[in-house]
Structure 1
Amino acid sequence: MEFIGAMQDSRVPQHCIMDYVSEMHGGPENVLVTARHEEPLDKEGKIISIFWSHANAVTFDTTHKTNLYDKPLCMLVGANHHLQCAMFGFALLGDETVETFEWVFSAFKTCMGGEGPKVMLTDQDPAMPVALRKFFPNTIHKLCLWHVQNRFIKFLNELYVRFEEEDFKSQFQSTMHHPLTVREFETAWAMMLDKFHLHDDVTMKNLYEIREEWIPAFFKQDYCEVMVSTQRSESMNKLVKSAHVDENTPLHEFAK
């Protein structure tokens, strides 16, 4: 292991290390490699995904290119009672399918004693809510406000430019963030559509149809610790990338 570690520190490609070790032992079938039974394996016995945890509202997000294998790293990030970031768990994923997310949530649920978070914020990945409903049926699923807007940003920018003099952007942002009740939001949204004649606009219709999943006013009764987006996850992603790992980090160093 010290020899392998020295080669990895010297940036010897992983496949070269495996070829050399296999030759030392007379074939890959003779190389002793063990894995925890909880981790999913492929047909060749290689680990597909890895979950680990340091352990009310949790954000769940993934980031890419954090290691030599170009695999997604997902982070389960929440906040303590001082509104400081709290890390609940990590998972290095083989892919982002429903099955993989189900495995992540299953592992997270096990290490949390069978309990689930009250609220979970995610981006609009279609696989996440499917897995979430299966393992945390009582958890409130909330879409990240930033991701929702970003999905429609091309069309929103067109509206911002078209109604720049009327300052549509400010009214749109105010309608999203400021209403304290659902009724206030509905009233403000209707007034905005009337003012800018946007009743038939496809983008506004699409945003309105999923309003209960991302507009803060619909979550006032739920304690979300002032989180309306997965920004905490994004901040932790940046910290991990800038201070700990990069795209050239081998797995053994990544784990450390």
Structure 2
Amino acid sequence: MDVDNGSSDGGGSFDIEQSLLQQFSCMGTTDKDELVKQLQKLLGSPSHLNNSAAAFFLDMNNWNLQAAICSYLDIEAPNILPSMALVSDPVATETESIEPNTKFQKYWHICNNGNEQWPVGCSVQCSQGNNFGTNSMSLPALNPGEGVHVCLDMTSPSAPGIYQSKWRACTPSGSYFGDPMWVILTVVEQGTIELTEQLSHFNELGAIPPLAPQVFNPFIRQTLHQGESNKDTAPPDEMYQ
């Protein structure tokens, strides 16, 4: 960065650049008390991370919230996360359409496939995409080998389209673990599903119906079947007089 300060050695330019970099790193962080609260909220309740500890990590990173979180996780967070496996996903790739603003449920069967019990306070959260009006669901502290069925009440978006979201198991400190779980949803315009059902019903009506009893019409010459006599099917001569 070039600065016209009348000095040929560039020392003043270096000092100004360092100052600006520090200001950029602290941009939007003037309210330190609010940053402390945000850090505590993201990493756990205040009982897990008190004000002094939160301020320490923030001050160590020039009050940059993201950098403070990384520092905390590198130093304080356990290196081994819980283990979780997705046992079954009944509708992993939804093919059925749904109308806007319609309530539905999403199911997953997951288990603890590790060697340690899950910590108390784990949950299932949306990590990416549309959360379909659902925040999170608490998970029990499963022992190794135990499983649980997760059921989330959701609502389809108001606009037609294809939506998806990724859900993850999450520790109380906010670290994701285990297999990802997906929701893929096709939202169609209001009335489309009803119209499709009606068209399907019409197709059924157009199918070949079962044979009905034949009624003899003397004015229509009947088709002869093999082995039948013409005198049995031809109309009498007096019909045409």
Same fold (TM over 0.5): no
Q: Into which bin does the TM-score normalised by the smaller protein fall?
A: under 0.3
Task: Answer 1 or 2: higher relative contact order, Cα 8 Å, separation at least 6.
Answer: 1
The structure with more strand, counted as a fraction of residues: 2
